[in-house]
C-alpha cells in the first residue's frame, strides 16, 4: 500500500532552496518531502489529503543546532538561578533572578518543598557578572540552609558555589587548604567558591551533580527534546558524550520512541582513550546509528575556555595578564586522531577557544590531510572564538568548517572587552562576517546549557552583535538575516555532513519543519529573537509545543 500524501498549506514556506526560495504548499509522504510549490504543482503527484492547520503559519526547514549538550535536559530538575528569563522543557518561563537576595528567596522556596532533610539542594546558571561581580559565599547559602548541602553551578560551568554543609560533607570545612581554585576567607576557611572542575568535583557529588557533568539520562534526553520542539529545532548535536555501549542502548531506546521529536547527533568525546581505540569504537558505533540517533562522529578538545582563563592564547595573551591557559590534548595525539579518522571516514569536531589553540589545530590538521587526502572531510572547529582573518583563510584552504559561538558574544562580550581579551580582540570574536567572506562553511551555536537553546536568538546575536549591556561590539562582523537563517539550517547541516538530508525544504529531504507564528524574513533583524515558534514537524510527525 502506498503511503499517504499530505499537502500542508502554509502562509509562507521559506525553503532555503534558492531555486524556489518561497512556496505556499509542501507535500509530505511518510517522513520525507515529496514536493514543494503551489497546490497546482503538487496535485500532479496524485491523491493527497490537504491539511490547512498551518495556513496562517510560516514554515522553515527544521532548525539545526550544531553545538549543544543534552545534559541540559537534566539540569531543569535543579533550581534555575540565571539572570535572564529562560523556559524549561514544560514551557514554564523562569524569571531571571537579578540579586543575590532574589536567588536566596528562590532557593528557600525550593528548599521548603524538599521532604528528605538530607537531600541536597542544587541550583544552576548563576552568573554574578551581571550583578556587578558580587561574590557569592557559603554564608549566603547558609542563610538558605545550614543542615542540607547546597550547590549552585555557574552558567559557564566552571565555577560552583556551595554552602558550609557541602564543604563539611566533603571534609573541606577546615583551615590549611592551599589550592588556587579554592579561595579562603579571613577565617582561613574556604569561602565556598570552587573554581575549575578539579576543585569542584570533590564537592559537587555532595550537592547533587553526577561526576561526569557530560552524560545525560533517559528522562533528561526526553526533556531535552521538548526544549528542541519549543525552539523549532529538529536536529541537534550532543557535543560530547561518553557513548559507552550501555549508554547507546538506552539512547537508542529513547530516541526510537514513536513520540521522540528530535534527531540527536552525539559525538564521542576523545578523552582518556587512545586515538586508535576511539576511532575503532566510533566506526563500530556508526553501525548502530539510526535516523534519530546519528552515531559516528568524534569531538576533540584542544584547550579550555576564555572566561575561565584556560583557553590557549597567542601573544600578547590575556588582557588582564593572566597566564596562558591549558592544553587538553597534545598536538601528537590530535595528529594521530586526525589521520586515523580521515582514513576511516569519521568526522572530527575540535573545540578551540583561544587563537593559539586554533593555530595548533590548523598546524596539526594540515599535515594529516596531506598524508590522508580526503576531499569533503568537513572537519569542524567548534567555538573558534578568537580566530582572525588569516586563520579563516587557512580553514578555507584546508576545507574545514567552523561553528562560531554567537551567543557568547551577547552573554560575555562585555567581560571579554573589559577583562579577558581587551577591546580589539573582543570586537572580532566570533567573526561570522570574516568566516563567510573567506568562504568557510559556517554554523552558529548556543552551547546549551551554557547559554539557552534557541537558534533564532543565536541568529539575532550574529546579526546584531549586541552585548548584555546593550553595546554593539564588532560592527564589521555582523551578518545579514538571510545569512544567519542559512547558518541555523543548511549551514549547520553542512558541518554535520547532513545537508543532503536536512536544512532545506525541497524534494527528497526529511519532512522537518520549524512551524512559526512569525516570518523571520519580515520581522526585521532587530526582532529576530522574538520569532514565536508553534512547534515542529519532524520526520513528517507533528509536535505542537502547546501539547508537550
Partner 1 sequence: MTDLLPVTVIGGYLGSGKTTMVNHLLRHANGLRLAVLVNEFGELPIDADLIEAEDDDIISIAGGCVCCSFGSDLVGALMEMAKLDPQPDHLLVESSGVAIPSAIVGSLSLLEGFRTDGIVVVADAETVRRSARDKYMSDTVLRQITDANIIILNKTDLVEAPDLEDTERWIKEQNTSVRIIKAEHSAVAPEAVLDSFLGHVAASDRHQHTQNLEVITLTLSAPVDVEDLAQTLANDQNGLVRAKGFATSTSGQKNLIQVVGNRWTITEAPDHMADGIVGLGFKGAISGLDRFQ
Positions that interact with partner 1 (CB under 8 A) = 170-172, 177-182, 197-199, 201-202, 205, 211-212, 214, 269, 271-274, 276-278, 312, 324, 326-333, 356, 359-360, 363
Burial class (CB within 10 angstroms; exposed 0-12, middle 13-18, buried 19+) of 335: middle
Q: How far is the CB of 181 from partner 1 (least distance, A)?
A: 7
DSSP class of residue 491 equals I
Q: What is the CA radius of gyration of the chain?
A: 23
Q: What is the 3-state secondary structure (H, E, C) of 327-363?
A: ECCCHHHHHHHHHHHHHCCCEEEEEECCHHHHHHHHH
- Pick 115 or 180: Cβ nearer partner 1: 180
Three-state DSSP state, 482: helix
φ, ψ dihedrals at 395, nearest 5°:
-55, -45
Q: How far is the CB of 336 from partner 1 (least distance, A)?
A: 10
- Pick 269 or 309: Cβ nearer partner 1: 269
- Pick 209 or 456: Cβ nearer partner 1: 209
**d(C-alpha 400, C-alpha 404), whole Å:** 13
Count Cα atoms within 13 angstroms, Cβ side, for 207: 32
Q: How far is the CB of 136 from partner 1 (least distance, A)?
A: 20
Burial class (CB within 10 angstroms; exposed 0-12, middle 13-18, buried 19+) of 32: middle
- Pick 132 or 211: Cβ nearer partner 1: 211
Q: How far is the CB of 268 from partner 1 (least distance, A)?
A: 12
Q: How far is the CB of 171 from partner 1 (least distance, A)?
A: 4
- Pick 53 or 276: Cβ nearer partner 1: 276
Is residue 462 within 8 A of residue 487, CB to CB? The reply is: yes
- Pick 271 or 283: Cβ nearer partner 1: 271
- Pick 11 or 168: Cβ nearer partner 1: 168
Beta strands in 209-262 (DSSP E): 233-241
Q: How far is the CB of 160 from partner 1 (least distance, A)?
A: 12
Three-state DSSP state, 425: helix
- Pick 94 or 213: Cβ nearer partner 1: 213
Q: How far is the CB of 125 from partner 1 (least distance, A)?
A: 22
φ, ψ dihedrals at 366, nearest 5°:
-55, -55
Q: How far is the CB of 278 from partner 1 (least distance, A)?
A: 8
Q: How far is the CB of 361 from partner 1 (least distance, A)?
A: 10
Nine-digit cell string for 162: 556551595
- Pick 100 or 172: Cβ nearer partner 1: 172
Nine-digit cell string for 525: 533583524
- Pick 333 or 521: Cβ nearer partner 1: 333
Is residue 479 within 8 A of residue 462, CB to CB? The reply is: yes
Is residue 17 within 8 A of residue 61, CB to CB? The reply is: no
Q: How far is the CB of 86 from partner 1 (least distance, A)?
A: 27
CA 470, 474, 476: angle at the middle one, nearest 5? 130
Nine-digit cell string for 545: 509545543
**d(C-alpha 361, C-alpha 528), whole Å:** 34
Cα 494 to Cα 51, 195, 366, distances in angstroms: 31, 36, 21
Longest Cα–Cα distance in the chain = 81
Amino acid at each position: 500500500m502506498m503511503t499517504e500524501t499530505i499537502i500542508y498549506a502554509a502562509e509562507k514556506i521559506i525553503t532555503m532552496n534558492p531555486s524556489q526560495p518561497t512556496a505556499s504548499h509542501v507535500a509530505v509522504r511518510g517522513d520525507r518531502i515529496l514536493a514543494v510549490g503551489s497546490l497546482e504543482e503538487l496535485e500532479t503527484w496524485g491523491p493527497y489529503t490537504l491539511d490547512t492547520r498551518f495556513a496562517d503559519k510560516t514554515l522553515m526547514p527544521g532548525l539545526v543546532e550544531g553545538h549543544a549538550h543534552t545534559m541540559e535536559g537534566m539540569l531543569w530538575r535543579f533550581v534555575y538561578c540565571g539572570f535572564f528569563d529562560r523556559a524549561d522543557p514544560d514551557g514554564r518561563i523562569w524569571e531571571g533572578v537579578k540579586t543575590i537576595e532574589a536567588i536566596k528567596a528562590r532557593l528557600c522556596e525550593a528548599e521548603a518543598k524538599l521532604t528528605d532533610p538530607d537531600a541536597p539542594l542544587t541550583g544552576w546558571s548563576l552568573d554574578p557578572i551581571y550583578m556587578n561581580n558580587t561574590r557569592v559565599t557559603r554564608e549566603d547559602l547558609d542563610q538558605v540552609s545550614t543542615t542540607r548541602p547546597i550547590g549552585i553551578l555557574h552558567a559557564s560551568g566552571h565555577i560552583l558555589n556551595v554552602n558550609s554543609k557541602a564543604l563539611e560533607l566533603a571534609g573541606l570545612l577546615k583551615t590549611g587548604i592551599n589550592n588556587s581554585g579554592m579561595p579562603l576567607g579571613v577565617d582561613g576557611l574556604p569561602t565556598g567558591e570552587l573554581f575549575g572542575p578539579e576543585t569542584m568535583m570533590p564537592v559537587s557529588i555532595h550537592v547533587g551533580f553526577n561526576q561526569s557533568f557530560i552524560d545525560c539520562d533517559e528522562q533528561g534526553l526526553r526533556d531535552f527534546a521538548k526544549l528542541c520542539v519549543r525552539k523549532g529545532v529538529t536536529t541537534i548535536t550532543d557535543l560530547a558524550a561518553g557513548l559507552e555501549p550501555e549508554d547507546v542502548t538506552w539512547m537508542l531506546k529513547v530516541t526510537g520512541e514513536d513520540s521522540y521529536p528530535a534527531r540527536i547527533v552525539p559525538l564521542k568525546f576523545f578523552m582518556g582513550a587512545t586515538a586508535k581505540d576511539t576511532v575503532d569504537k566510533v566506526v563500530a558505533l556508526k553501525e548502530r546509528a539510526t535516523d534519530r540517533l546519528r552515531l559516528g562522529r568524534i569531538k576533540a578538545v584542544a584547550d579550555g575556555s576564555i572566561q575561565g582563563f584556560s583557553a590557549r592564547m597567542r601573544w600578547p595573551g590575556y588582557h588582564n595578564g593572566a597566564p596562558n591557559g591549558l592544553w587538553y590534548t597534545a598536538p601528537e595525539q590530535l595528529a594521530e586522531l586526525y589521520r586515523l579518522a580521515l582514513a576511516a571516514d569519521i568526522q572530527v569536531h575540535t573545540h578551540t577557544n583561544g587563537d593559539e589553540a586554533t593555530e595548533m589545530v590548523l598546524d596539526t590538521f594540515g599535515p594529516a590531510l596531506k598524508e590522508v587526502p580526503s576531499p569533503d572531510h568537513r572537519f569542524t572547529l567548534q567555538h573558534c572564538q578568537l580566530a582572525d582573518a588569516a586563520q579563516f583563510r587557512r580553514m578555507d584552504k584546508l576545507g574545514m568548517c567552523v561553528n562560531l559561538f554567537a551567543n557568547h558574544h551577547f552573554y560575555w562580550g562585555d567581560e571579554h572587552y573589559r577583562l579577558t581579551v581587551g577591546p580589539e580582540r573582543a570586537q572580532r570574536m566570533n567573526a561570522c562576517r570574516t568566516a563567510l567572506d573567506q568562504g568557510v562553511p559556517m554554523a552558529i551555536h548556543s552551547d546549551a546549557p551554557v547559554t539557552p537553546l534557541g537558534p533564532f536568538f543565536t541568529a539575532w546575536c550574529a546579526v546584531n552583535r549586541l552585548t548584555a549591556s546593550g553595546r554593539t561590539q564588532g560592527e564589521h562582523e555582523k551578518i545579514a538575516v538571510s545569512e544567519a537563517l542559512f547558518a541555523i539550517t543548511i549551514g549547520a547541516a553542512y558541518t554535520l555532513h547532513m545537508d543532503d538530508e536536512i536544512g532545506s525544504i525541497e524534494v527528497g529531504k526529511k519532512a522537518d519543519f520549524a512551524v512559526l507564528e512569525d516570518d523571520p524574513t519580515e520581522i526585521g533583524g532587530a526582532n529576530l529573537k522574538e520569532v514565536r515558534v508553534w512547534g515542529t514537524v519532524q520526520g513528517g510527525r507533528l509536535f505542537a509545543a502547546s501539547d508537550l
